[in-house]
């Protein structure tokens, strides 16, 4: 079941545009905007956090209440 | 309490001194003629709750010693020429990161595998410049078994006080020679420990010169103050930096902490130098033959003196300068090598004296007779 | 970065020096998350590294950190662990640092079964010096020092570690991060020498030279090539060729070195001491 109120925070300054988050999101939440992840399908996000774990630059946080 | 009288080998005295100084970690690799230091440490360290480990090689031994010192234990390793060469990179690491440690080099004939069981003093320059880059180092050299004991304690004290590797430069003869020695009472021994952090310091910067004396307080790993240690040039926080100012400031401080304190670090002994025309400059085991020769020559009425360097590096320039205030004309530098110390003596003399070398590098000690012959040869030449 | 993880980083030192898509940041993140999941005491953790891109990781991590000389991390770490066995000692190293210049220290630390966790950032190349082949570079791959293709055979670091005496051995990848975190957690909990070989990507020097394209393509390759240790057990050597076998290879109980040394202390003190 998809969690409600999922948020994705992206630190654009930290992003080095490697594209890993975009390519390997299981539900295609992101599109590329000049290499940077653009959230285009937030409702599809399952809060699996793979993008957060795979971001080499600690630029992504995915979650609900825990990231207030 | 009566003083402790023992028949000790130099290498045994080294371990006794180290334990008295508070050594609690030893890492080493077997190599002649230093191996007894490892063997005796292996036996005695666990008795006082200390740790001994025989590492897989010389490089690892030096690394383990630095690691253990960072974790708070006074640490030592011992080796000889080939092993000393292998340790050099990590000795440089300890110089730059300012981790106290004692390295004993029991010299044998070189180069390369050389003469494993015979004495030499061929590592004088390697102790100073063995590791790459400009760096500070302290090197002291004993000439008797009792002095091995005292100087091992001093090596720990200097290393802890100045946060610098201290090299105890021995040779095969002083290491394997047995002498009757009177060891001081433990309570009479001065022990110096690394400068601790004042509790008022909240945001500890591991490489900040808090006291303005170039000597930094040190937190041990595990004491609750996490910090970074790197062999890269680093700023006061310990972080890598290639900034020109940071680099220069760091290197200047490393040198200053030694060179501002030469009066404390440098020790030498002068015998009959006040009226001497010729002074023999020497160190380590060679000083024993020279001392004998000087006594015999004095009996003959020759005005001969002895300058024995106990601290090899930093070099005792003041001892040479002091001789300019005396009638001394000639310096003979006696050493079991091709003339390594002589070059520094020459530079220090700045032409004030004629400097001659008495050099032997065939695996034998310089004998008193050879010293006498050299003195007479110089007298005839002058 | 997540707030609860910030305390583990030296945030003023970020962003790190690693190239876009470099897997080192992923592994460093996995180590931090494993430490956080286990609630280990931060001031009792020592992270030791050698030289190379991967060995820069400790500089960003807020623990007792030691960036040593090339290949020697395990030697320094051994001294630390011997001096104070209450410290949790973790070595972060690269494939060249660990298996070439540090190979001797690696096999001997494993042989002693000293309680150190070694995590190898295995990207099959020397990145810091811009792309020379390492003992982990696959045969046939290109490097600046293998312009005609590498003829060296590469180590299987897990087999090497296991046969040398490591008592916990596993392989993970920068693609399979949740699994990697679990493996690191197990390694950290293990009492003895633990090894995690992490298959990593170097898009800049390995990727470009071998015409592998982007970090994304390199990650896809890892995904395609990876099979579990369980599956691998059923395959022939031919079928295993070109595969990355991931998972746990060994987990055994054996006397740990510093504990054994404590027994030596008791023995030397006449056996009547408490500690």
Residue (of C76, C143, C141, C111) closest to C260 by Cα position: C111
Q: Which residues of C touch B74 (CB under 8 A)?
A: none
pLDDT given at position B201: 87
Give residue for tokens 């501002």: B260
C261 in a structural domain: yes
Q: Which residues of C touch B228 (CB under 8 A)?
A: 10, 58-59, 65-67
Tokens of B139: 């090197």
C237-273 tens-digit pLDDT: 999 999 999 999 999 999 999 999 999 999 999 965 4
Whether the CB of C140 is below 8 Å from some CB of chain B: the reply is no
Nearest to B224 among C13, C43, C108 (CB): C43
The reply to whether residue C59 touches residue B90, judged by beta carbons under 8 angstroms, is no
**Which domain does C188 fall in, by range?**
3-268
C274 in a structural domain: no
Query: Domain of C241: which CATH number?
Result: 3.40.50.970
Mean local confidence (pLDDT), B331-360: 98
Residue of A nearest to C173 (CA): A54
SS3 assignment, position B73: coil
Instruction: Yes or no: say if B25 and B73 are a contact pair by the CB < 8 Å rule.
Output: yes
Domains of chain B by start residue, with CATH: 4-188 (3.40.50.970), 269-381 (3.40.50.920)
- Domain count across chain C: 1
Whether the per-residue pLDDT at B202 is higher than 60: the answer is: yes
pLDDT given at position A4: 67
- Examine chains C and B and say if they touch (3+ CB pairs below 8 A): yes
pLDDT given at position B272: 97
Residue of B nearest to C73 (CA): B63
C275 in a structural domain: no
Instruction: Yes or no: say if C268 and C261 are a contact pair by the CB < 8 Å rule.
Output: no
B288 confidence band (pLDDT: 50, 70, 90): very high
* Surface of A (13-42) touching C: CB under 8 A: 13-14, 16-20, 23-24
A65 confidence band (pLDDT: 50, 70, 90): confident
Task: Kindly give the interhelix angle for C103-112 and B58-70, rounded to the nearest 10 degrees.
Answer: 60
Residue of C nearest to B45 (CA): C265
Mean local confidence (pLDDT), B212-230: 96
Q: Could you state, in order of their start, the residue ranges of all structural domains in chain A?
A: 7-67
In whole angstroms, give the CA distance from residue B76 to residue C83: 12
Residue (of B103, B47, B112) closest to B77 by Cα position: B103
Instruction: Yes or no: say if B340 and B261 are a contact pair by the CB < 8 Å rule.
Output: no
pLDDT given at position C272: 52
Q: Which residues contact B297 (CB under 8 A, 6 or more apart)?
A: B304, B372, B375
Q: Which residues of A touch C181 (CB under 8 A)?
A: 53
Instruction: Yes or no: say if C257 and C115 are a contact pair by the CB < 8 Å rule.
Output: yes
pLDDT given at position B2: 59
Q: Of B54, B63, B133, B237, which to mutate for an interface test with C (greatest number of C Cβ within 10 Å)?
A: B63
CATH 2.20.25.240 fits A7-67, yes or no: no
C16 in a structural domain: yes
Instruction: Yes or no: say if B47 and C268 are a contact pair by the CB < 8 Å rule.
Output: yes
- Examine chains B and A and say if they touch (3+ CB pairs below 8 A): no
pLDDT given at position C273: 47
Half-sphere exposure of B9 (CA within 13 A, CB side): 16
Q: Which residues contact B197 (CB under 8 A, 6 or more apart)?
A: B204, B217, B218, B219, B225
**pTM score > 0.95 for this model?**
yes
The reply to whether residue B239 touches residue C13, judged by beta carbons under 8 angstroms, is yes
B145-199 tens-digit pLDDT: 999 999 999 999 999 999 999 999 999 999 999 999 999 999 999 999 999 999 8
Residue (of B52, B28, B30) closest to C258 by Cα position: B52
Nearest to C75 among B63, B224, B229 (CB): B63
C186 in a structural domain: yes
In whole angstroms, give the CA distance from residue B148 to residue B282: 17
Whether the per-residue pLDDT at B314 is higher than 60: the answer is: yes
Nearest to C20 among A17, A52, A54 (CB): A17
Q: Which residues of B touch C42 (CB under 8 A)?
A: 226
Whether the CB of B129 is below 8 Å from some CB of chain C: the reply is no
| Residue numbers of chain C with a pLDDT score lower than 50 | 273-275
Mean local confidence (pLDDT), B257-278: 97
Nearest to A56 among C3, C24, C216 (CB): C24
pLDDT given at position B381: 86
The reply to whether residue A19 touches residue C21, judged by beta carbons under 8 angstroms, is yes
In whole angstroms, give the CA distance from residue B160 to residue B217: 10
B25-44 tens-digit pLDDT: 999 999 999 999 999 999 99
- Residue B183's H or E segment, with its range, is strand B178-183
In whole angstroms, give the CA distance from residue B63 to residue B52: 14
Residue of A nearest to C181 (CA): A53
Q: How far is C15 from chain A (nearest CA, A)?
A: 6
The reply to whether residue B93 touches residue C66, judged by beta carbons under 8 angstroms, is no
In whole angstroms, give the CA distance from residue C221 to residue B145: 66
The reply to whether residue C77 touches residue B90, judged by beta carbons under 8 angstroms, is no
């Amino acid at each position: 079941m998809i969690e409600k109120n999922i948020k994705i925070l992206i630190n654009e300054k930290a992003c080095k545009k490697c594209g890993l988050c975009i390519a390997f999101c299981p539900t295609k939440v992101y599109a590329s905007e000049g290499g940077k992840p653009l959230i285009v399908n937030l409702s599809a996000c399952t809060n699996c956090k793979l993008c957060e774990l795979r971001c080499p630059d600690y630029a992504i946080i995915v979650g609900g209440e825990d990231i207030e | 309490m009566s003083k402790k009288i023992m028949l000790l080998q130099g290498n045994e005295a080294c371990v006794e001194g180290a334990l008295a100084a508070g050594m609690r970690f030893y890492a080493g690799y077997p190599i002649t003629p230093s191996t007894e230091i490892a063997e005796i440490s292996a036996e005695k360290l666990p008795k006082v709750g200390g740790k001994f480990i025989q590492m897989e090689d010389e490089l690892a031994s030096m690394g383990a010693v630095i690691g253990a010192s960072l974790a708070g234990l006074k640490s030592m390793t011992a080796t000889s020429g080939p092993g000393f060469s292998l340790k050099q990179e990590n000795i440089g690491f300890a110089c730059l990161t300012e981790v106290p440690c004692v390295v004993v080099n029991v010299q044998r004939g070189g180069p390369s595998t050389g003469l494993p069981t015979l004495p030499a003093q061929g590592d004088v320059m390697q102790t100073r410049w063995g590791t790459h880059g400009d760096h500070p180092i302290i090197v002291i050299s004993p000439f008797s078994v009792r002095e091995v004991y005292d100087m091992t304690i001093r090596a720990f004290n200097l290393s802890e006080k100045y946060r610098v590797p201290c090299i105890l430069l021995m040779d095969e003869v002083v290491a394997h020679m047995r002498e009757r020695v009177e060891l001081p009472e433990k309570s009479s021994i001065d022990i110096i420990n690394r400068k601790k952090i004042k509790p008022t310091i909240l945001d500890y910067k591991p490489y900040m010169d808090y006291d303005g004396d170039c000597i930094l307080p040190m937190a041990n790993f595990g004491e609750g103050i996490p910090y970074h240690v790197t062999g890269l040039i680093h700023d006061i926080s310990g972080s890598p930096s290639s900034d020109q100012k940071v680099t220069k400031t760091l290197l200047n401080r490393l040198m200053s902490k030694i060179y501002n304190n030469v009066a404390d670090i440098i020790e030498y002994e002068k015998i009959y130098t006040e009226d001497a025309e010729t002074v023999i400059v020497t160190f380590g085991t060679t000083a024993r033959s020279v001392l004998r020769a000087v006594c015999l020559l004095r009996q003959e009425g020759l005005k001969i003196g002895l300058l024995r360097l106990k601290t090899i590096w930093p070099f005792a320039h003041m001892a040479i300068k002091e001789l300019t205030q005396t009638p001394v004309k000639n310096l003979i530098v006696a050493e079991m090598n091709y003339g390594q110390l002589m070059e520094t003596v020459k530079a220090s003399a700045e032409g004030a004296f004629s400097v001659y070398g008495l050099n032997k590098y065939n695996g034998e000690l310089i004998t008193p007779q050879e010293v006498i012959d050299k003195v007479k040869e110089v007298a005839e030449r002058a | 970065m997540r707030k609860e993880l910030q305390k583990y980083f030296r945030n003023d030192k970020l962003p790190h020096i690693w190239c876009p898509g470099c897997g080192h940041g992923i592994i460093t993140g996995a180590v931090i998350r494993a430490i956080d999941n286990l609630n280990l005491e931060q001031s009792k953790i020592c992270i030791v590294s050698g030289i190379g891109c991967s060995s820069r990781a400790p500089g960003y991590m807020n623990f007792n950190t030691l960036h040593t000389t090339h290949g020697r991390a395990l030697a320094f770490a051994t001294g630390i662990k011997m001096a104070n066995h209450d410290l949790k000692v973790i070595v972060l190293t690269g494939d060249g640092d660990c298996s070439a210049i540090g190979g001797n220290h690696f096999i001997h630390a494993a042989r002693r079964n000293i309680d150190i966790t070694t995590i190898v950032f295995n990207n099959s190349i020397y990145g810091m010096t811009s792309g020379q082949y390492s003992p982990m570079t696959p045969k046939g791959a290109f490097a600046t020092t293998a312009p005609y293709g590498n003829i060296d055979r590469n180590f299987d670091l897990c087999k090497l570690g296991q046969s040398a005496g490591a008592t916990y051995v596993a392989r993970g990848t920068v693609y399979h991060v949740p699994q990697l975190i679990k493996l690191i957690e197990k390694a950290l909990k293990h009492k003895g020498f633990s090894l995690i070989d992490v298959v990593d990507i170097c898009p800049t020097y390995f990727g470009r030279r071998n015409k592998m394209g982007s970090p994304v393509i390199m990650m896809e390759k890892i995904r395609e090539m990876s099979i579990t240790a369980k599956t691998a057990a059923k395959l022939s050597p031919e079928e295993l060729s070109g595969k990355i076998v991931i998972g746990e290879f060994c987990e055994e109980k054996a006397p740990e070195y510093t504990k054994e040394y404590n027994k030596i202390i008791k023995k030397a003190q006449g056996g009547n001491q408490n500690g």
